[in-house]
Structure 1
Amino acid sequence: MVTRRRAGLLRGTVYRVFYRLPRKMQRFLARRVSPKYILGAVILLFDADGERLLMLRQPPGFGWGLPAGLIDRGEAPAHAAVRELREETGLSVELKPANPSAVVHVGGRWVDMVFTARVDAETHEPSVDGAEVLDARWHRLDDLPPLTPASAKLLSHYGIGPYSEALGEPVHD
């Protein structure tokens, strides 16, 4: 059995050797032993009154979700959110971080950076391509359509949707 002192000495030796390696080798090793995370950008786009939320129906069409997508390597999360919103809905909107601004999903391997905005729904009508997004509509927060499980779970962090009862009052924008 390794004592606590011996484990500390061993760990210290490993770190000293690691930090003497060339920078490229350090990065290579760190990427091989570090956990991998998928980073996504999600947008909570509310109407001006905060009573409706823009929802999307995407293939295969089994529920409604939020405008969202993966963050490209080296891309700022805010830029990814703006890009995804524009690609999926044709809308260009100034976004700000939601509160909470990051949601770590069960299993800890997926992290969503969440952004929000309020816009006039009458002047911000989404347009969809029919391929990546089948439909985009404004839905009342108290009458949401059937949601994808991922969207329902994410919205619960903001006191919205079918899983929000335990959280109490909505905390959105």
Structure 2
Amino acid sequence: MLFSSSLLAIVGAGEEPSLSPRRHCLFNTTSGTALRELNFLTSILSVRMNRKRATKDDQSTEYQKHLMEEEQKVEVLKLRLKIEKERNRSQANEMASLRAAKDEEIMEYRKLLMEEKQKNKELSDEVERLQQLQEEHNCVLLLLVVMSHEKQPNTQRTGGRKINNLRA
């Protein structure tokens, strides 16, 4: 009992759940009501009460405090996880749209490359055709030169006079 107040701390001493040594009850004797009931994982060894608060003197109070802190940390981590998942989802969507844009660019570049290859092939064919024409033209010119050379009589110039060489 706390000094001259009507508060009474009750700790169970039996094997039944309502009388468990791990159960603490703060009881108001004037109203006949339980103000607070606490269950702990280990047996309660002692209870200290003062005008400001009532505390349990064993490891379970510290454990309960630590457990509450850890639960708060877990809640914070769950919230961070939720935020990270949303950010990852957003980044994944952004990456997918960038990937789609890059795929379209790649297809466009492949199309341009195929067109350039086709143009190069056409130009190579045209160059080859022109080279053949030039070769034919050179052959024709050579033939004409040879033919014109054969039609002209062989002449030598000596001192300004023309001497015809006749073939025997």
TM range (shorter): under 0.3
Q: If you compute each CA radius of gyration, which structure gives the higher value, 1 or 2? A: 2
- What is the TM-score with the length of structure 1 in the denominator? 0.21
Structure number with higher strand proportion:
1
Structure number with higher helix proportion:
2
Greater RCO between the two (CA within 8 Å, min separation 6)? 1
- What is the TM-score with the length of structure 2 in the denominator? 0.21
